Amino acid sequence: MKAPVLIEINEEFLKIATGKPFARQRQLADCYVAPISGLTDHQISQAVGNFLRENKVRPAPLTVCIPRNFVTVRNLHLPSQVESEIRQMLQLHIGRIVPYKKEEIVFDYSLVGYDEMNYAKLILSIVHNDVLQRQLNILHAADLFIDRISLSSYAVWEWVMLNQKNEISASEIYLILDFDANFTDFIVCNRTHLLFTRSITVDTKEGLQQGQLAKLIGEVRQSLVIFHNEEMNKNPAKIFLCGAGLVDEAQKMFSAEFDMPVVIVPPPHNKQLLISKNRSIPVNVSLTSAAELLLEDSGKRVSFMLPEIQIRKALNDRTRELMILGMLVIYFFSASLAYFWGKFYNQQLYLNKLAKRNKTINEEMGGLLTKYRKLSLVKTFLYQRNIPLAFLYELEKITPFQVAINYLSIDNSGMVTLRGQGAMLSDVFRYISTLENSKFFKDVATKYTRTKKTQDKEYTEFELTFKSEEKIEPLKEAVKK
């Protein structure tokens, strides 16, 4: 079955979250975490494929979550408010921000707002191609196609803002700490934008010991100083702790160290879901970003896409469009064929009924129809035989006594050749005019006229060609007479 799927692959764990299929609003259906430390990429691909096959899930869509510690994030102020100009500036100066070539990285940014000089304030997120390529290769080996790649920090911010929306003020800023296995995501935000993020390396394999907590608090203080120096001097109104189950141990110490309320935000998944699926989530693993990226689809996130992923996605979309078009063409062709075939079949059926009815009538009338057809055939034959007689009869009617016909022939094409003599040349011309004006003859042409003398008189010889009309109804009357 098709369902939304999110996959996160970091140094220690494989995280998979699936949604319920056919749901109007996305809901978590399952959460899966497996240790992958020491596994090869091929083994990780097998683990992903085995999970999806066992649960009979086909990703639609498939989202990949990139952990915050895989990404370089910088806060920038650029002298423009036009998106195309901002991207051009980033293309020119990206090499100064990270020690990589432009061809080796993929970046995206989120616009935070504008400062007092009307400069665009934005958060630039940069990831190396190798990170994305590894994710792509692992999932491609499992026969999976990536639809979207998003940064985990934005999902953490969205979840906290959604879960604590009744406690959030539009005029305040807040600090979020998301605890994961080998790092803590430090996030400063307000209700509408993520303002600052930093990855703090803290190993929590053995839990949060006193020394680790002290180190974490020191890193949080230092991160706040960096934020104040780069962005604003305003202090956060609250601290929200989320992620791994270790947050309970950190709440008391954070409350004592910082002069602000500390609130624990529950994870997106619940214990009943894990129990029903017989899943065990390690206490030092955060599923906040994985679950939130699956549940929501915000337009404020940053996304990373390799060119080959974009090409594959475009080809996949094009293939799907062509398949839909092909199915529509086949459907219309089949419908048209069915319509015309049905029409032909109905006509044939009606013709068969008429033939059957005709046969019945013929039998009832004692074969009268058969006799009528035979009689019609005989009449047609006789009519064709009598046509030449009718032709001669009509020709004889219009031939004056001053003209004598010596020769008459009709070829296969119906062309008539007529030779004769006239007492005078004027008699011949009058005869030709009579033929031309006759409604039974057409295309009259004079081949020659010659005047000859004998001892006692003079006469004119002539030759004419013409055709008889194909439809000469009066000839029928002539035949009858």
Among 43-52, 96-105, 321-330, the least confident range: 96-105
Q: Please report the pLDDT score of residue 47 as a whole number.
A: 92
Cis check: omega of the bond before 388, within 30 degrees of 0: no
* Residues near 239 by beta carbon (within 8 Å), at least 6 away in sequence: 174, 175, 176, 177, 254, 258, 260, 261, 262, 263
CB half-sphere exposure, 254, CA atoms < 13 A: 25
Overall average pLDDT of the 322-331 stretch = 88
The residue ranges of every structural domain in the chain are 2-305, 318-364, 372-480
Torsion angle of alpha carbons 289, 291, 295, 299, nearest 10°? 10
Question: How many C-beta atoms lie closer than 10 Å to residue 158's C-beta?
Answer: 21
Overall average pLDDT of the 163-191 stretch = 89
Residue bearing the bigger pLDDT, 386 or 280: 280
pLDDT tens-digit readout, 6-49? 999 988 899 998 888 766 667 778 888 899 888 999 999 999 99
CA-nearest of 260, 264, 217 to 240 is 264
Q: How far apart are CA 269 and CA 291, in angstroms?
A: 7
CATH second-level architecture of 372-480?
Answer: 2-Layer Sandwich (3.30)
Query: Could you give the residue ranges of the DSSP H alpha helices within 78-200?
Result: 83-97, 129-141, 152-163
Residue bearing the bigger pLDDT, 466 or 392: 466
Q: Please report the pLDDT score of residue 275 as a whole number.
A: 74
CA-nearest of 242, 245, 248, 241 to 282 is 245
Say yes or no to pLDDT of 175 above 90.
Answer: yes
Say yes or no to pLDDT of 481 above 60.
Answer: no
pLDDT tens-digit readout, 214-272? 888 899 999 999 988 877 778 899 999 988 877 777 888 888 888 889 999 888 877 77
Q: With beta carbons less than 8 A apart as the criterion, state whether 175 and 234 touch.
A: no
Overall average pLDDT of the 335-342 stretch = 86
Q: Please report the pLDDT score of residue 472 as a whole number.
A: 47
pLDDT band at 196 (very low <50, low <70, confident <90, very high): very high
pLDDT tens-digit readout, 385-427? 666 777 777 888 888 888 888 888 888 777 888 899 888 888 8
pLDDT band at 198 (very low <50, low <70, confident <90, very high): very high
Overall average pLDDT of the 112-138 stretch = 89
pTM of the model: 0.65
Give φ, ψ of 339 to 5 degrees: -65, -50
Question: Which two structure tokens, joined as six digits, stand for 235?
Answer: 């202090």
The mean of the pLDDT values for the chain is: 83
Say yes or no to pLDDT of 476 above 60.
Answer: no
**Pairing state of beta strands 13-19 and 28-35?**
antiparallel
CATH of domain 2-305: 3.30.420.380
Q: With beta carbons less than 8 A apart as the criterion, state whether 152 and 97 touch.
A: no
pLDDT band at 477 (very low <50, low <70, confident <90, very high): low
Helix H or strand E encompassing 328? helix 307-364
Say yes or no to pLDDT of 115 above 90.
Answer: no
